[in-house]
Amino acid sequence: MVKKSTRVNHPPVVEVPADNQPVVAPIHQSVKFEFQTLDDTLRSLRGERAGFFYLRSSNPTTRQLELTLAELQGRDDCLVCASGVGAIAQALLSLTRQGDHVLCFFETYGPTRHLIRRTLAKFGVEHTLLSIADLAGIERVLSSRPTRLVVFESPTNPINRIADIATITRLARAHGALTVLDNTFAGVHQHGQYDIDIFLHSLTKFVSGHGDVMGGAAIANASLIRGLRPDFTVLGGALDPHAAFLLQRGLKTYFVRFRAQCAGRTDERLRCGRELRSAWRCRGRTSFRRSPAAVCDDRKCGLDGVTRDAAADARQPRFERRAAARGRHHGWHGSIVDRPGGRRRPA
């Protein structure tokens, strides 16, 4: 007979039959997992058997989210953590060391630039900053010095510049650099066809969709994730199982929200584009360059947006001001994407 004081700490086990599984996966809100024997524990720690040991290294609920995200992005494996910035910071710290060089871009998310220009610089990591449209500059930098990482976004946060992903990845691969793409604004189902080494995501935005949970993810092939995992574990930015559950729940409506929000943003962008063209004609402008885009449908969603020359950049048209402002709200991100294999003319 088990003592009552013992029973409250070790409640009766309720086995779920193999043919009677729950429709919604349970939340494994536990930091520790135990094995029946010390030998089994040691075998698990050596990677000789499956199992879970400590929340910071893995958990069944967070693992389910990781596998879902990896499949959506078209890669082997994934690591989740407590925030999007956490994923960026932990990936950059894990992938670089003193003497490395990183190529990054002016249009990149502010905290990412801070991490590269300030945090990594403290540890002797150098960087070059270019415009995402400067393909000649990218090739020149990569050919002139060994580069460890090319870190970029498409669309960029917050002004929604579209990168020529195919060209950037080709140049990086030719010169032995790893590509790290913050794919948050495109969504976890986009850009998997490109030769990207590591995808980063803020799950706080389009994956969550409800503004009530934070999370981040690094998605890559298994060999790269194996290298990242020890550093992600000791840096300590673990995702709580309940947050992982909420993010998995958010994915249930991900494609429903994606299609509806794409349609709404397409209508607004086209309207703003018409207003911009009218304003430019009043100033005597007669020609416009248009970026390649895909029609919003069940497979892809893009915008046929007007690009600007360098002289017009400083004026920042109204549709870009709106994009920057609305980027503070969570849920519409991913409404501007590349056509598969398409290229955007440099602005």
Domain count, the chain: 2
Q: Residue type for 20, please? A: N
Residue 101 and residue 142 share a domain: yes
Give the chain's mean pLDDT. Answer: 82
Domain boundary among 251, 267, 285: 251
Residue 306 has pLDDT above 80, yes or no: no
0.75 surpassed by pTM:
yes
Say if 37 falls within a structural domain.
no
**Cα separation, 94 vs 74, whole angstroms:** 22
Q: Work out the average pLDDT over 146-173.
A: 96
Domain co-membership, 152 together with 292: no
Statement to judge: residues 175 and 270 lie in one domain: no
Asked whether the CA dihedral 311, 315, 319, 322 is positive or negative, the reply is positive
Can you give the CATH number for the domain in which 225 is found? 3.40.640.10
* Shared-domain flag, residues 224 and 269: no
Looking at the fold, whether 112 and 191 belong to one and the same domain comes out as yes
Mean pLDDT of 53-58: 84
Cα 144 to Cα 59, 103, 139, 310: the distances in Å are 44, 12, 8, 26
In this prediction, residues 131-153 reach a mean pLDDT of 97
Q: Which of 1-5, 273-277, 286-290, 339-343 has the highest mean pLDDT?
A: 1-5
Residues 245, 105 share a domain = yes
The predicted structure's pLDDT at residue 81: 97
pLDDT bucket at 273, cuts 50 / 70 / 90: low
Instruction: For residues 147 and 200, state if they share a domain.
Output: yes
pLDDT in tens, 72-130: 999 999 999 999 999 999 999 999 999 999 999 999 999 999 999 999 999 999 999 99
Query: Domain range for residue 297?
Result: 254-326
Residue 197 shares a structural domain with residue 286: no
Question: Could you tell me the maximum CA-CA distance found in the chain, to the nearest angstrom?
Answer: 91
Assess if residue 123 is contained within a domain. Answer: yes
**165 with 314, same domain?**
no
Clarify whether residues 278 and 217 are in a common domain.
no
- Kindly report, residue by residue over 187-230, the tens digit of the pLDDT: 999 999 999 999 999 999 999 988 899 999 999 999 999 999 99
Cross-strand pairs, 216 = 81, 202
Same domain? 238 vs 260: no
